[in-house]
Amino acid sequence: MGTLGNPKNTIEILKKYSFVFQKKFGQNFLIDNHVIEKIIRAADITKDDFVLEIGPGIGTLTQHLCENSGHVLAIEIDRRLIPILEETLSDYDNVTILNEDILKVDIASLVKDYNDNKPVKIVANLPYYITTPIIMDIFEKHIPLSGVTVMIQKEVADRIQAKPGSKDYGALSLAVQYYAKPGIIANVPPNCFMPRPKVGSAVINLIPYKNPPYHVENEKLLFSLIRASFNQRRKTLVNGIFNYEGLDFNKEDIVKVLDDLGIARDIRGEDLSLEQFVAIANHLYVIKYDKFS
C-alpha cells in the first residue's frame, strides 16, 4: 500500500476502516515523509535499538521505526486503530502492538518484560494532552533510556529548553534539564498533520545524562522545591516554599539558606538556575536531617 507518510495512502486506509478522529485521544497523524526522516535521524536508530513508541496511530512513523530498529513496542490507546496497525505493519516481524493507555501502564515493567531491563529509545508523535505527564513519568521513574525523541507542541518544546529568567522557564524546564540535555531538532507546521492541529509542533531530542550533572541529597525534596517555587509564579521563593503544602520549613531557615548561598532574599523561582535549586535543596535537606538525627 506504500508509505503512510503520503497523504493519499493515509486517506485510503482511514476510508477503508471508516475511521473517525477522536478529539479525546489528541489524534493528529503525520503526513510528511521529510519530518519522519528527521525524527528517525535525530533518534539515531540502529538495528541494536529497542524502541518504545507511544501512540503509533495508523503506523506512519512505526513503519520507519521497524525498518531501522531491532524491535518496536507500540502502545496505542484507541482499540479502533489496532486492526489498522495489524494491516499497515503486516510486513514487519519486529513489532509488538499493545492496546493500552500509556498513562496507566507501568513503563518500567514493560521495559523489563520486553527488553530485559536494557535501555530503550522512546520515539513518538505524542498526543499533546499527555506530553508533560509522560515526559515527567519516564524520567522520575528512572526508566532505563538511551534516548527520547518526540514530536510535541512547539510551546512545550520551548518550555523544556528554556533558561532562567525567560517567560517559558518553569518546573518542566528544570525537571527535564536535570535528567537530560534537550535540543529542538525541527519545527513542524500544522499542515504536516491530518487533521491539522491549531498550533505548531516541534521535534525535540532529550539525551539522558548517564549521571545527573549535580549531586542531590534528596531528589524528592528538590522537585518539591521546584514545584513550590512555580506554584504561584509571582511569589518570592521564600513565600513559595513556606506556603507549599507538603513542605514544612520555617521562613528563618529558608532565609538563612539563601543568605549562606549569597542569593537575594526576594528572588523568585523563575530567576534561579538548576544549580542554585540543587544547592538550596541540599542545604534545606541538611537542616531537616539535622533536626531529626
> Where are the chain's structural domains?
7-208, 219-292
What is the sign, positive or negative, of the torsion defined by CA atoms of 175, 180, 186, 190? negative
Q: Residue 79 burial by CB count (10 A; 0-12/13-18/19+): exposed, middle or buried?
A: exposed
Instruction: Count how many Cα atoms sit within 13 Å of the Cα of residue 106 in the half-sphere of its side chain.
Output: 6
Question: What is the dotted CATH code of the domain comprising 219-292?
Answer: 1.10.8.100
Question: What is the dotted CATH code of the domain comprising 7-208?
Answer: 3.40.50.150
pLDDT recorded at residue 290? 66
**Integer Cα distance of 56 and 66 in angstroms:** 12
pLDDT recorded at residue 293? 44
pLDDT recorded at residue 287? 87
Asked whether the beta carbons of 95 and 71 are under 8 A apart, the reply is yes
Instruction: Count how many Cα atoms sit within 13 Å of the Cα of residue 82 in the half-sphere of its side chain.
Output: 11
**Integer Cα distance of 137 and 139 in angstroms:** 5
pLDDT averages per 10-residue partition of the chain, 293 residues: 80 95 90 95 97 97 97 97 97 98 95 97 92 91 95 96 95 95 97 94 96 90 94 90 92 96 96 97 88 51
Whether pTM exceeds 0.75: yes
pLDDT recorded at residue 291? 58
DSSP-derived 3-state class of residue 25: helix
**Integer Cα distance of 232 and 174 in angstroms:** 16
